[in-house]
Amino acid sequence: MVKAVVGANWGDEGKGKITDMLAEKADFVVRFQGGANAGHTIVNKYGKFALHTLPSGIFYDHTTSIIGNGVALDIPVFCKEIQTVVEQGAPMPKILVSNRAQIVMPYHVLFDQYEEERLGKKSFGSTKSGIAPFYSDKYAKIGFQVSELFDDERLLEKVESVVEKKNVLLEHMYHKPLLKVDELMTTLREYRDMIAPYVADVSVVLHQAIKEDKVILLEGQLGTLKDPDHGIYPMVTSSSTLAAYGAIGAGIPPYEIKEVITVCKAYSSAVGAGAFVSEIFGEEADELRRRGGDGGEYGATTGRPRRMGWFDCVASKYGCRMQGTTGVAFTVLDVLGYLDELPVCVGYEIDGEVTTDFPVTTLLEKAKPVYEVLPGWKCDIRGIKKYEELPENCRKYIEFVEEQIGYPITMISNGPGRDDIIYR
Ligand code: GDP
């Protein structure tokens, strides 16, 4: 049984918490795309953890965590994360890394920085973790798979050829120090030794697990609107954020994904540049940002303040549709208890016409939000375990959103902890 947990919006919807919770009944948790550029925050009995590369299931003894072939694997970041988790008192996680996963090279991180510097004001707001240069190289066929670390001779040959190419850019385009083959080889040999204990043919492992009816969770990073095909291109990430890609990035048959749990936050937040129709500003935004998430809406990786907005039904309906949603997990609802009224974006006005279909980027930039305003519930809903016990206005908000997006809200998260969940 394979389930995917993915985001409907711009990321930071609380996927980490939902995955961590569902991992209680999972045998495997698999990361299938993205890299160390985004993060999940998880709160459990061992403390509060910001994970960037490790899947959210690592805190259970009975789950095996998998880094799939679709991931951008930053080996030092990966190893550092394991070390931190263990140092904070959690048991040593069981982890397998795909032998086909590709490696974020030190120069990918540099090129990410240099390119953002070059673009200046026109930059993408990259987290500078090397993700865009990494995926560019992967598809230009000059990336390095984990398996390649184990053949020194071939590795050297390829490193020489790649360095030659990179150095032309470094010298003439960016005017930065050049790469040295021997230094890079030394680093890669260190990487090999660091990663060796974890390497496996994970697609074989997962096929066997499917045969044995094990529960496999695919954990997505970011959300639909950051997908390179279906998102707000070019202000997107460089790997697909859709559940469908889980089949490719984990190496399993597409028809095995039986459930798609799309995580949708009860208000909006986004990082990086790009159109954000229901964005709010000033004191209104500051207050939501301060109260948001668990300790404020600031990036788990970068610490930068997130852009804030009201719930966007147009974006979320689309976000759920492109994921192939079977159920929605509606999160961080507890945060909204302070509001007298809750504006909800129910349409986009573009050139005088209102639509509820999420448009392409060129039109999105012209869209103005159409709001409906719902009454607030003005109380703290944390600790409530039953849907019927939620205040009436809170239920009305949930049911209104459900009607607008057209997908069933099956879980409501009313706090950051594992148990702060209401099933419907
Ligand atoms: P992800 O990347 O989608 O996993 O999202 P984040 O890790 O950025 O999660 C958002 C933040 O919200 C984290 O700090 C979570 O601990 C927190 N969080 C998740 N669900 C809830 C919730 O229902 N209520 C509150 N208050 N915080 C939550």
In this predicted model, what pLDDT tens digit does every residue of 48-99 receive, in sequence order?
Answer: 888 888 988 888 889 999 999 999 999 999 999 999 899 988 889 999 999 9
| DSSP-derived pairing of the beta strands 368-375 and 341-350 | antiparallel
Contact 35, 97 (CB under 8 A): no
Distance, in Å, from the CA atom of 413 to the CA atom of 420, rounded to the nearest integer, reads 6
- The 3-class SS string of 218-232 reads EECCCCHHHCCCCCC
What would the mean pLDDT of 22-45 be, rounded to a whole number? 86
What would the mean pLDDT of 136-155 be, rounded to a whole number? 97
Within 10 angstroms of residue 193's Cβ, the number of other Cβ atoms is: 10
Residue whose token pair is 């209102």 = 354
Distance, in Å, from the CA atom of 422 to the CA atom of 419, rounded to the nearest integer, reads 9
Which of 18, 41, 48, 52 for mutating ligand 1's site (highest number of atoms within 8 Å of CB)? 41
Q: Which carries the bigger pLDDT value, residue 155 or residue 295?
A: 155
Within 10 angstroms of residue 160's Cβ, the number of other Cβ atoms is: 12
Distance, in Å, from the CA atom of 43 to the CA atom of 48, rounded to the nearest integer, reads 4
Which CATH architecture fits 2-86+203-423? Alpha-Beta Complex (3.90)
Q: How does residue 299 score in pLDDT terms, banded at 50, 70 and 90?
A: confident
What's the distance, CA 265 to chain centroid? 13
Q: Where in the chain is the domain with CATH 3.90.170.10?
A: 2-86+203-423
Residue 380 catalytic? Answer: no
Three-state SS for 99? coil
264-298 exposure pattern, b = at least 16 Cβ within 10 A, e = fewer: bbbbbbbbbbbbbbbbbeeeebeebbebbbbeebb
Q: How does residue 301 score in pLDDT terms, banded at 50, 70 and 90?
A: low
pLDDT at 300 over 80: no
Measured CA angle at 135 (ends 111, 67), to 5 deg = 115
Q: How far is the CA of 296 from the centre of ligand 1 (A)?
A: 10
Distance, in Å, from the CA atom of 82 to the CA atom of 92, rounded to the nearest integer, reads 8
Give counts: helices (H), strands (E), the chain: 12, 21
Name the residue with the closest Cα to ligand 1, atom 23.
Answer: 332
One-letter amino acid of 106:
P
Contact 175, 129 (CB under 8 A): no
Contact 66, 205 (CB under 8 A): yes
User: CB-based burial of residue 61 (10 Å sphere; 0-12 exposed, 13-18 middle, 19+ buried)?
Assistant: exposed
pLDDT of the residue at 146 = 98
Q: How does residue 309 score in pLDDT terms, banded at 50, 70 and 90?
A: very high
pLDDT in tens, 262-293: 999 999 999 888 899 999 999 999 999 999 98
Distance, in Å, from the CA atom of 124 to the CA atom of 272, rounded to the nearest integer, reads 6
What is 102-197's CATH superfamily? Adenylosuccinate Synthetase, subunit A, domain 2 (1.10.300.10)
pLDDT in tens, 217-255: 999 999 999 999 999 999 999 999 999 999 999 999 999
The sign of the dihedral angle between the CA atoms of 15, 20, 25, 30 is positive
List pocket residues of ligand 1, CB cut-off 6 Å.
Answer: 7, 11-17, 38, 40-41, 43, 293-294, 300, 331-332, 334-335, 413-416, 420
What would the mean pLDDT of 299-311 be, rounded to a whole number? 85
Identified catalytic residue from 40, 52, 108, 230:
40
Q: Where in the chain is the domain with CATH 1.10.300.10?
A: 102-197
Residue 108 catalytic? Answer: no
pLDDT of the residue at 187 = 97
pLDDT at 124 over 80: no
